[in-house]
């Protein structure tokens, strides 16, 4: 693995400490990755040919996000054996598993989360550690394989240095701490601040991989929140075009630069009382339905829309009790350059950089080739080799 990082402009607010964000992804043993540590900036791309582990790195990030949101382990890992390194050998009890973690920077400082998952013979979390400033704030371990629980100990710094209690082995303990820790001592408040920082950063994630086949036809009108596959793009355009004229104008400018032929607007037109379709208004009385566009143009349009919207439009689960101004949405874009030509990739990357500089959105994407990034400021590129490191 090699890392190319070109610093963001000095005025960029993306690293403000009041917005918790993931600054490091660790895959100690996950799929093709071993002992891998990936730095993450406001705009990060995993680059490399097929089979180098780009998608699995994004999948690990999304898995941590879903666990932080309270999802059960079986929901997050429906095929856990696929996450076990291929050459991993079982122990004497025939147990195999995987390990992943991250570092979250924010008001509580740098907080590390590390999770060990047993995939065989039973799926369960067998170890979790939350640390900050060299201090272990939460540690769990599987003491009795016959019980569906782990023994947890979290920092108290009161009359007793730690508090011990069982936690379920199918959920992330860090996400459960705000419900278990009273916050009466300085130590407990330290634990709560660190846990909440990790949860806020991880839950604000939108995994996106636009599916052109789903964006070609008419869609029903519903609540207008964009799905990860962007198949309801027309419905979202119907809503957003009238809600924010400035952002819509930016979308039109981006699509004009990334799609063939002139255009004056990107809009949705109503076919009947329940359905709409997306069209490009060419400005001369011609409206081109998105069904006529190529896959690259459709993916460009969808990704541009994602970058120019936010949690209120995207299908994400932000932390309702934390103000939006203190949250930073991370977009996970697998196949960021799939079906795009170099001109489209450069334009979309430029839009991503400008969006990420504002500080409320970060992007982690996977690309085949990132040679264009050598000239781009504010971009971190992680080059992966065939060994996934």
Q: What is the DSSP string of 282-338?
A: -SSS-EEEGGGS-HHHHHHHHHHHHHT--TTTBS----TTS-GGG--EEEEETTTTT
170 inside domain = yes
The Cα–Cα gap between 239 and 279 comes to 14
Q: Among 14-18, 96-100, 317-321, 359-363, which stretch is predicted with the lowest mean pLDDT?
A: 14-18
| pLDDT at residue 84, rounded to an integer | 96
Mark whether 241 and 116 lie in a shared domain.
no
What's the number of domains the chain is made of?
2
What percentage of the chain has pLDDT greater than the value 70? 91
* 8 A C-beta contact, residue 280 and residue 269: no
Mean pLDDT, the chain, whole residue set: 88
Is residue 368 situated within a structural domain? no
Residue range of the domain that includes 286: 215-315
Residue 6 has pLDDT above 90, yes or no: no
Check whether residue 186 and residue 277 sit in a common domain.
Answer: no
Upper half-sphere CA count for residue 313 (Cβ side, 13 Å): 22
What pLDDT score was predicted for residue 4?
Answer: 61
Lowest-pLDDT range, 172-186, 308-322, 345-359? 308-322
Last residue of a domain, one of 293, 315, 337: 315
pLDDT value for 179: 87
Q: How confident is the model at residue 306 (pLDDT cuts 50, 70, 90)?
A: very high
Residues 11 and 151 in one domain: yes
Between CA 86 and CA 110 the distance in angstroms is 32
Domain end marker among 285, 315, 345: 315
- Are 168 and 251 within one domain? no
Would 388 be classed as within a structural domain? no
**DSSP class of 189:** H
Distance CA 49, CA 52 (A): 6
pLDDT at 281: 92
Q: Does 176 lie in the same domain as 302?
A: no
Residue ending a domain, choose from 295, 315, 335: 315
pLDDT value of position 325: 56
| pLDDT for 139 | 96
Q: Are residues 197 and 224 in the same domain?
A: no
The answer to whether residue 286 sits within a structural domain is yes
Is 191 part of a structural domain of the chain?
yes
Residue 273 pLDDT class (50, 70, 90 cuts)? confident
Same domain, 51 and 197: yes
Residues 6+ apart with CB under 8 A from 150: 124, 125, 126, 127, 128, 140, 141, 142, 143, 166, 167, 168, 169, 173
What value does the mean pLDDT take over residues 129-147? Answer: 93
| Helix or strand run (H / E) with residue 252 | helix 245-258
- Residues 168, 270 share a domain: no
Residue 211, pLDDT above cutoff 80: yes
DSSP string, 166-187: EEETTS-HHHHHHHH----SHH
Is residue 73 in some structural domain? Answer: yes
Per-residue pLDDT at 308 exceeds 90: no
End-to-end CA distance of the chain: 5
Same domain, 37 and 186: yes
Look at residue 383 and tell me if it is in a domain: no
Look at residue 177 and tell me whether its pLDDT is greater than 70: yes
Q: What is the pLDDT of residue 144?
A: 87
Residue 13 has pLDDT above 60, yes or no: no
Tens digit of pLDDT for each residue in 317-353? Answer: 655 555 555 678 899 999 999 999 999 999 999 999 9
Pair (196, 254) in one structural domain: no
Q: Which two tokens stand for residue 163?
A: 């508090």
Same domain flag for 40 and 76: yes
Any domain includes 94: yes
Tell me: do 136 and 274 sit in the same domain: no
């Amino acid at each position: 693995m090699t890392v190319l990082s070109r610093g963001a402009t000095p005025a960029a607010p993306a690293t403000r400490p009041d917005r918790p964000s993931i600054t490091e992804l660790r895959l100690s043993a996950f799929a093709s990755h071993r002992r891998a540590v990936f730095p993450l900036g406001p705009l990060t791309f995993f680059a490399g040919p097929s089979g180098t582990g780009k998608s699995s790195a994004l999948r690990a990030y999304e898995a941590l996000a879903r666990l932080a949101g309270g999802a059960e382990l079986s929901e997050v890992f429906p095929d856990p054996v696929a996450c076990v390194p291929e050459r991993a050998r079982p122990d004497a009890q025939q147990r195999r598993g995987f390990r992943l973690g991250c570092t979250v920077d924010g008001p509580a400082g740098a907080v590390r989360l590390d999770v060990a998952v047993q995939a065989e013979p039973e799926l369960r979390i067998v170890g979790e550690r939350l640390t900050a400033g060299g201090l272990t704030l939460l540690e769990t371990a599987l003491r009795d394989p016959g019980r569906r629980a782990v023994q947890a100990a979290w920092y108290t710094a009161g009359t007793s240095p730690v508090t011990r209690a069982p936690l379920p082995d199918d959920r992330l303990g860090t996400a459960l701490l705000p419900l278990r820790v009273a916050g009466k001592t300085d130590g407990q408040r330290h634990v709560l601040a660190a846990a909440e920082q990790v949860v806020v950063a991880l839950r604000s994630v939108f995994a996106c991989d636009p599916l052109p086949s789903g964006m070609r036809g008419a869609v029903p009108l519903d609540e207008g929140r964009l799905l990860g596959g962007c198949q309801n793009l027309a419905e979202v355009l119907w809503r957003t075009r009238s809600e924010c004229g400035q952002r819509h104008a930016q979308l039109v400018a981006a699509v004009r630069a990334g799609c063939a032929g002139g255009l004056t607007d990107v809009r949705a037109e109503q076919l009947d009382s329940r359905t709409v379709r997306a069209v490009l208004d060419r400005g001369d009385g011609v409206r081109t339905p998105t069904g006529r566009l190529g896959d690259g143009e459709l993916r460009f349009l969808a990704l541009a829309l994602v970058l120019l919207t936010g949690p209120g439009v995207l299908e994400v689960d932000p932390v309702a009790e934390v103000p939006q101004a203190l949250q930073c949405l991370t977009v996970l874009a697998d196949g960021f350059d799939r079906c795009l030509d170099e001109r489209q990739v450069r334009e979309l990357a430029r839009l991503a950089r400008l969006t990420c500089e504002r500080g409320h959105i970060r992007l982690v994407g996977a690309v085949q080739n990132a040679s264009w990034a050598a000239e781009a400021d504010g971009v971190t590129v992680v080059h992966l080799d065939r060994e996934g490191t």
